[in-house]
Amino acid sequence: MMLLLDIGNTNLRWALSDGGSPGEVRIVRHGAAVPLDLLADWERLEAPGRIVASNVGGPAVAAAISRATRAYWGLDVEFVQTRAHFGALRIAYPEPERFGVDRWLALVAAHRLVPETALVVDAGTAATFDLLLADGRHLGGLILPGVEMMRASLLAGTLIPRIASEPTDEPWAADTGPAVAAGSLQAIAALTTRLYDRLERQTQTSPALILTGGDAERLIPAMDRPARVMPDLVLRGLSEVVSGDAPAIG
């Protein structure tokens, strides 16, 4: 049994895998350290055979997690690194190490799970957009602030009051709080539509639109293209890398 870890900018997702799809996904906020509720869960966990991780949360949380796994099970964490090629998948970046490992793993999983051209949107602390052709060629992507970061930066730079609110069913709003809430979702949804349509015209096919990340479900009402939510996409990519090509692990 393997322990798979997806250490994001804000949250840590983990699941167990026997070499196939990840099991139940657990989510905790890490705060650049090891959360106490994670340790409580791990105290009850039977020792895994391997621990494999994706980390974009920084060296502090990686070191803290590594200390915990050595203390509990005497195991070091194997951190996956982005690489230019993985099977048919080819990354567009000329310097693959500059391409986030979470984005890379999401593409590894997407290419395995869907046969068609795909637009992969990861809506987390940052919102990333990656375009992937059916033959495995990655065209590139874009990055925006995520939903909460977009809202926080607007409120920090203006005198708009901090009003806790969620958008209504309409794409616009009749009050300031809902306008800010709707704007952040609509901005990401609008860019998704623009990229989807460009990809559709370029390839003369109907691409798959895959949403992942903590805010994927929140985006669904704002989307005007058919989308599927795969919240464990990075963990699925980890499982693929571990079972398919050990040299991707550093």
Supply the pLDDT for residue 163: 65
Average pLDDT, the chain: 92
If pLDDT is split at 50, 70 and 90, which confidence band does 168 have?
A: low
What is the SS3 assignment for 20?
Answer: coil
Beta strand segments in 87-159, E: 89-90, 118-123, 126-132, 138-145
- Give the up-direction half-sphere exposure of residue 16: CA atoms within 13 A in the CB hemisphere: 9
pLDDT per residue over 102-155, tens digit each? 999 999 999 999 999 999 999 999 999 999 999 999 999 999 999 999 999 998
User: 18, 41, 102, 169: which one is catalytic?
Assistant: 102
CATH number, position 55: 3.30.420.40
Structural domain includes residue 205: yes
Residue whose C-alpha is closest to residue 6's, from 25, 19, 21: 25
- From residue 64, give the alpha-carbon distance in Å to each of 59, 60, 70, 125, 161: 9, 6, 10, 21, 37
* Segments forming the whole domain that contains residue 193: 116-231
Lowest mean pLDDT among 18-22, 43-47, 89-93: 18-22
Give the pLDDT band of residue 179 (cuts 50, 70, 90).
confident
Q: Which residue has the tokens 């986030």?
A: 100
Residue 244 lies in a domain: no
Pairwise CA distance, residues 96 & 91, whole Å: 7
| Backbone dihedral angles phi then psi of residue 53, each to the nearest 5 degrees | -135, 150
Instruction: Write phi, then psi, for 138 (nearest 5 degrees).
Output: -85, 125
- Claim to verify: residue 125 and residue 65 sit in the same structural domain: no
- Count CB neighbours of 46 within 10 A: 7
Out of 79, 108, 126, a domain closes at 79
Report the C-alpha gap between 43 and 40 in whole angstroms. Answer: 5
Q: Is the pLDDT of residue 159 over 90?
A: no
Domain boundary at 51, 79, 107, which? Answer: 79
pTM above the 0.85 mark? Answer: yes
Name the band, by pLDDT with cuts 50, 70 and 90, for residue 167.
low
Q: Is residue 111 part of a domain?
A: no
Confidence of residue 174 (pLDDT cuts 50, 70, 90): confident
Residues annotated in a binding site for ATP: 6-13, 125
Question: Annotated binding site, which residues?
Answer: 6-13, 93, 100-103, 122, 125, 176
**92, part of any domain:** no
Domain finish residue from 31, 50, 79 = 79
Give yes or no: 102 in active site: yes
- Overall number of domains in the chain: 2
The reply to whether 227 and 166 lie within a common domain is yes
Do 72 and 135 reside in the same domain of the chain? no
- Domain for residue 47, yes or no? yes
* Feature table: binding site for substrate: 93, 100-103, 176
C-alpha pair distances (Å), 58 with each of 28, 63, 97: 16, 9, 14
pLDDT in the model for residue 181: 85
